Amino acid sequence: MELQLKGGGPPVVPTNTVYSTVQQQDYSASVWLRRKEKKLEHSQQKCIVIFALVCCFAVLVALIFSAVDVWGEDEDGITEENCNKNCRIVLVENIPEDVTFSENGTAHLPLSVGLHGLLEMAFRSVEIVSPQWNLNSSVYDSSSQKSAGQGWALLQRLQGLKKKGISLKIASGMIDSAELKGLSRYSEVHYINMTALTKGFLHSSFWVVDRKHIYIGSATMDWRSLSTMKELGVIVYNCSCLALDLHRVFNLYWQLQYKDFIPSMWSKRLSALWNKEENLPLLFNNTKSDVFVSSSPDVFCPKDRTVDLDAISYVIQTAKRFIYISITDYLPLTIRKAHRYWSRIDGMLREALILRNIKVRLLISCREETHPLTFNFVWSMKTLCMELANCSMEAKFFNSRELRDGTLQGINHNRFMVTDSAVYIGNFDWVGNEFTFNAGAGMVISQAEGVGVRNSTLVEQVRVTFERDWYSRHTKNLQANKIPVCNKHQLNQMAHLKITTEPTESSRSEETPNGSL
Ligand SMILES: *[C@@H]1O[C@H](CO)[C@@H](O)[C@H](O)[C@H]1NC(C)=O
Ligand SMILES: *[C@@H]1O[C@H](CO)[C@@H](O)[C@H](O)[C@H]1NC(C)=O
Ligand SMILES: *[C@@H]1O[C@H](CO)[C@@H](O)[C@H](O)[C@H]1NC(C)=O
Ligand SMILES: *[C@@H]1O[C@H](CO)[C@@H](O)[C@H](O)[C@H]1NC(C)=O
Ligand SMILES: *[C@@H]1O[C@H](CO)[C@@H](O)[C@H](O)[C@H]1NC(C)=O
Ligand SMILES: *[C@@H]1O[C@H](CO)[C@@H](O)[C@H](O)[C@H]1NC(C)=O
Ligand SMILES: *[C@@H]1O[C@H](CO)[C@@H](O)[C@H](O)[C@H]1NC(C)=O
C-alpha cells in the first residue's frame, strides 16, 4: 500500500491523510482478524511455550552433561592435532647489578629483553597473569632510577599494544591496584576474588602471546623483577601446542571473574591436553623434550590437569643422581592461625635422600622475611644423612645485600628445581600455604641426558646456572647450631612459635583431599 501510494503520480491530496487513513483501516482490520483467531492462537501459543520449555530444558541438560563451554572463545582453529611442536626455548634471567659471578660463560637473555621481544612479536593477543602490578615505581631514589626505568618502559609498551590493534588481557587477584586501574583503559582486566574462592592468593605468573609464544617463571609485573631481584624463567617461541595448554589455565582464571564459588564441573575446553601421565613430546631447539603444564590449587584443576605438587613429585621421582633446588623460601609448614607441619615435599626429599641415594642441594634465600624455622627443618634433613654412606644433602643460603635504608638488594627470587633429566619451573615458594590455598602454575621439561652437544640442552643450562649461583661468593654455608642471621628480629620471633601436629578445627576443613602422602 505504501509502495502504491508512493509509486503513483504526483500527489494531489496531502499524502499524510491518505496514508494515516489507510493505516487506520489496516490496523482495525488486523485487530478484527486477531480477535477472530485468538482462540486458535491461544492453544497454539500454549503448545509453543511448552515446546520451547522442553527444548530449553533439553539444551540445559545437554550443556550440563557435556560441559560445553558456552562462554569460551574459540581457540583460533589451533587444536592439539595441528599445533606446532617444533619450538625454540630460551632461558631468561634478571641478574641485579650488584650480583656478579666470576665465571663469564653463563650469561642468558636478560628478562626485560625477552619480554620486550615477546611484545614486539605480538600480533593479535597478549594474555598476562601476575600476582603483582607495580611496574611504575613511584618510590625509588635516584640511585635506582635506571633500574626502575625498565619497569616503566615495559608498562609503556603494554599500554601501546591497544594502538597497534593487539588485545591485552590481564587476570589478576588485585582489586585495588592503581596501576591495573590505569591499565584497564588499554586492556581487559578480569578480577579473581581468591579470598572467596580458596582463602588464598593468585600467585600465578605467566604470559601467553598469540597462542604461540609463552613466558613462565619467577618474575612478576613488578619493577624489582626487572632490576633488583634475581629471577629465572623461560620463554618458548613458536610453540602453539604448549601455548594452547597454558592458555587454558589462563582461560580458567578468566572465567572466574567476580565468582565467589568454584564451579563443581569445569568446561571441557579448560581440561588439560597433556599431563604427567601423557607428556607433550616436543622439539626444543631440535632437542627431543617431554613437557607438561601444572596448576594449583587442586580445586583449580579440571580433568587431567596435573597439580604442582604432583609435578614436583614427578621430577623428584625421575631423578637418578641429583636434585638441585633454588627457592626463595623452603618451609614445610602451613601457617594460618596455627603453624602446622606440612610434610609433602619434605617427605619426598627425605625419601630420595635415604631410599634412593639421590644427592640433594637446597639453595634458599636469606632475607628479611626468611622464617626462622627454615634453619631447623633444613638442618634436620641434613642430619638425616650423617654417617650414612652415599647420602648427600647440602644446603646454602643466598645472601642479599643490605642497602643503607635497610632494604635488601639482590634477593634470589628463583623458583626452580633441576635434576639430571628434568626441570620444574614454577610460581611458588616451597611453603605449605602456597600449595594448599594459592593459585599458581608450573612447567616440567624432561630431556634425556647427553643428547646434543654438552651443556646445550635447557636442562643442562639450568643446572649450570644453579652451579654458578651455588659456588658464587653470594652464598653462605649452613652451619651446625648457628642460625644464619637473615633479619634482626628473627630470634625474638622464635620464642613465640608453636607447631601443632594435630589438625586444628580450621585447618581440617581447609585440608585438601590428598593432604598426606
Ligand atoms: C673469562 O673470559 C676471559 C676472556 O674471554 C678468559 O680469559 C677467562 O679465562 C674466562 N674466565 C673463566 C672463568 O672462564
Ligand atoms: C607513572 O606514574 C606517574 C605518577 O606517579 C605518572 O605521571 C606516569 O604517567 C606513570 N607512567 C605510566 C607509564 O603510566
Ligand atoms: C571477595 O570475597 C570476599 C569473601 O567472600 C568478600 O568479603 C569481598 O567483598 C569480595 N571482594 C570483592 C572485591 O568482591
Ligand atoms: C617462528 O617461526 C617463524 C615462521 O616459521 C619464523 O619466521 C621465526 O623466526 C620463528 N621464531 C623463532 C624465535 O624461532
Ligand atoms: C655407595 O655407592 C657406591 C658406588 O655407587 C656403591 O659401590 C656402594 O655399594 C654404595 N654404598 C651403599 C651403602 O649403598
Ligand atoms: C635455542 O635457540 C635460541 C636461538 O637460536 C638461542 O638463543 C637459545 O639459547 C637456544 N636455547 C637453548 C636451550 O639452547
Ligand atoms: C658444562 O658445565 C660444567 C659446569 O657445570 C663445566 O664444568 C663444563 O666444562 C661444561 N662443559 C662444556 C662442554 O661446556
State mean pLDDT over 499-513.
Answer: 46
* Band of pLDDT at residue 110, cut at 50, 70 and 90: very high
Which atom of ligand 5 approaches the CA of 357 most closely?
14
Q: Residues 114-165: pLDDT tens digits? A: 999 999 999 999 999 999 999 987 655 545 556 678 899 999 999 999 999 9
* CA–CA dist 217, 215 (Å, integer): 7
CATH number for the region 85-491 comes to: 3.30.870.10
Per-residue pLDDT at 506: 43
C-alpha 195 to ligand 3 mean position (Å): 7
* CA–CA dist 274, 282 (Å, integer): 12
Sign of CA dihedral 240, 308, 466, 151: positive
Ligand 1 touching residue 471 (CB < 6 A): no
Which three three-digit cell numbers place residue 500? 601443632
pTM to 2 decimal places? 0.82
Per-residue pLDDT at 204: 97
Per-residue pLDDT at 115: 97
Per-residue pLDDT at 479: 78
Residues near ligand 5 with C-beta < 6 Å?
Answer: 389-390
Per-residue pLDDT at 403: 64
Per-residue pLDDT at 56: 62
Q: Residues 150-209: pLDDT tens digits? A: 899 999 999 999 999 999 999 999 988 999 999 999 999 999 999 999 999 999 999 999
* CA–CA dist 349, 358 (Å, integer): 9
Ligand 1 touching residue 104 (CB < 6 A): yes
pLDDT score of 16 more than 90:
no
Ligand 4 touching residue 237 (CB < 6 A): yes
Per-residue pLDDT at 45: 77
Ligand 4 touching residue 284 (CB < 6 A): no
C-alpha 172 to ligand 3 mean position (Å): 14
DSSP secondary structure, 328-394, as one string: S-EE-EEESSSEEE--HHHHHHHHHHHHH--EEEEEEEESTT--THHHHHHHHHHHHTTT-TT--EE
Which three three-digit cell numbers place residue 63? 550443556
Which atom of ligand 6 approaches the CA of 108 most closely?
9
Least confident of 276-280, 313-317, 403-407, 479-483: 403-407
The SS3 call for residue 470 is helix
Residue tagged 600467585 (cell numbers): 203
Nearest to 363 by CA among 301, 446, 429, 316: 429
Cis status, amide bond into 372, omega within 30 of 0:
no
Which atom of ligand 1 approaches the CA of 103 most closely?
13
pLDDT score of 31 more than 70:
no
User: If you take atom 4 of ligand 7, which residue's CA is the nearest one?
Assistant: 464
What are the domain boundaries of the chain? Answer: 85-491
Q: Residues 60-98: pLDDT tens digits? A: 655 554 444 444 455 667 888 889 999 999 999 999 888
C-alpha 104 to ligand 1 mean position (Å): 6
Per-residue pLDDT at 149: 85
pLDDT score of 439 more than 90:
yes
Which ligand is nearest the CA of 285, by number?
6
Sequence-ordered list of residues with C-beta below 8 angstroms from that of 86, at least 6 positions apart, any chain: 238, 282, 283
Residue 445 burial (C-beta neighbours within 10 Å; 0-12, 13-18, 19+): buried
* CA–CA dist 18, 12 (Å, integer): 11
Q: φ, ψ for residue 478 (rounded to 5)?
A: -75, 125
pLDDT score of 250 more than 90:
yes
Per-residue pLDDT at 501: 58
Ligand 1 touching residue 107 (CB < 6 A): no
